[in-house]
């Protein structure tokens, strides 16, 4: 449609191997209202998580991750069949600077 403009992503990332190199076919795209996880080369699977459904976030960084500056972010959301969405081995995965942790809609609310 010519009248509608596509939303610009807040952040784009890609899964990395053990040495921090992006030689995989998994891409992560964060918009202001949703997170899209796109996997595959020939058969593509795309999962979307609405950010208002996020219940909890977790960050795991291994020793190699600290050396090569990558880590795994787990996002737990309500109301979806796959409750744990994992952003595996993303670059610059720290809880202060990563856009998933800074996203306004993804802020945790008291129950």
Select from 16, 34, 33 the least CA-distant residue to 25: 16
Residue 89 is predicted with a pLDDT of: 80
Which residues have C-beta within 8 Å of that of residue 45, sequence separation ≥ 6?
38, 39
Residue 3 is predicted with a pLDDT of: 45
Which ranges of 1-111 does DSSP label H, i.e. alpha helix? Answer: 63-68, 99-102
pTM confidence score:
0.74
Q: From residue 99, give the alpha-carbon distance in Å to each of 14, 16, 74, 79, 107.
A: 14, 17, 14, 23, 11
What residue ranges of the chain have pLDDT lower than 70?
1-5, 80-84, 93-98, 100-111
Task: State what percent of residues in the chain have pLDDT above 70.
Answer: 74
Residue 95 is predicted with a pLDDT of: 58
Select from 108, 79, 110 the least CA-distant residue to 95: 108
């Amino acid at each position: 449609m010519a009248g509608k403009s596509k939303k610009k992503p807040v952040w784009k990332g890609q899964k990395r191997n053990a040495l921090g190199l992006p030689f995989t076919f998994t891409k992560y795209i964060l918009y202001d209202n949703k997170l899209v996880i796109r996997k595959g080369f020939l058969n593509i699977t795309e999962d979307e998580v609405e950010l208002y459904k996020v219940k909890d976030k977790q960050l795991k960084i291994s020793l190699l991750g600290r050396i090569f500056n990558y880590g795994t972010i787990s996002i737990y959301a309500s109301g979806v069949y796959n409750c744990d969405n994992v952003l595996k081995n993303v670059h610059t995965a720290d809880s202060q600077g990563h856009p998933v942790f800074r996203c306004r809609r993804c802020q945790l609310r008291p129950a």
